[in-house]
Amino acid sequence: MTSLVTWLKQETRRRMLPADTKQSFDPEMQRYAEFGRIGAGLLHDLSTPLTAATITLSNLQAEQSSRQLKRALADLKRIERYIKSARQQLGNEAPRRLFSLNPLIKQACRTLEVYADLKATEIITELEPNIRLRGDLVKLQRVITNLVVNAIESYDELSIANKQVMIKTEKKYNHVFVSIIDFGKGIKKSDLGLVFEPFYTTKQAGGRSLGIGLALVKSTIENDFGGSVHIKSQYMRGTKFIISIPLVRKS
């Protein structure tokens, strides 16, 4: 397992190099790099829904609740969508279509509801209506999920009574701005310039984090949606991630 993770790290770094640098690699190496990027992404992305499914099924065993069963099945279907998306990326067939942003965010919140409850954290949304985007909605949902999970975990080891994560959307300057806000431990100023680097992580919880979540967030928003990601943070006061994506023009 250690050698696999090492290989994935090497290939993911190679995949995320600037375009002019990648030209020096032959096609075979680039193919391995793409496989490494997707493989590393799957290792990261599957952890959250699998954790949610495990918690839900444990509750089901104790309570025999059909509602809990539905939630578990929804989590497993989300895993299937991730795997399908990865296969499409390997074949350069990732679907790009028009979709509404609000249902995507609400679905991400429902998926993370169990995890948020476990962490005694409330997810609050303030969503502007009628926002439509074009692209792979599975990739964008993965971005939102990654950022919300990070926001929830920002309260780990902190004694805070009211733990909240806020998701806000706003249309401005022909763009949509999605903000994910927490009031947790924040990020030290010395670390701010490193948070989007592959495999950089400040989490020390048994090595659970691979340090690729934010790198994938940045790569997806910039390369797949033509947008940008910005971060504002103060240590021990909280963090705000701001995603900017161009709106779909009406024909």
CA 118 to chain centroid: 19
At 3, the pLDDT band (50, 70, 90 cuts) reads: very low
**Predicted TM-score (pTM) of this structure:** 0.69
Domains located in the chain, CATH noted: 98-251 (3.30.565.10)
At 68, the pLDDT band (50, 70, 90 cuts) reads: low
Q: Tell me how many degrees the CA angle 107-110-111 measures, rounded to the nearest 5.
A: 90
For 149-188, the pLDDT digits (tens) are: 999 999 998 999 899 999 999 999 899 999 999 999 999 9
3-class SS of residue 157: coil
At 5, the pLDDT band (50, 70, 90 cuts) reads: very low
Rg (CA), the chain: 18
Residues 6+ apart with CB under 8 A from 200: 194, 211, 215
Least confident of 28-37, 66-75, 110-119, 125-134: 28-37
- Among residues 43, 35, 42, 44, which one has the least CA distance to residue 14? 35
CA dist., res. 207 & res. 204, Å (int):
6
Per-residue pLDDT, averaged over 49-76, amounts to 68
For 88-102, the pLDDT digits (tens) are: 655 555 678 899 999
Pairing state of beta strands 175-182 and 163-172? antiparallel
- Among residues 117, 121, 111, which one has the least CA distance to residue 82? 111
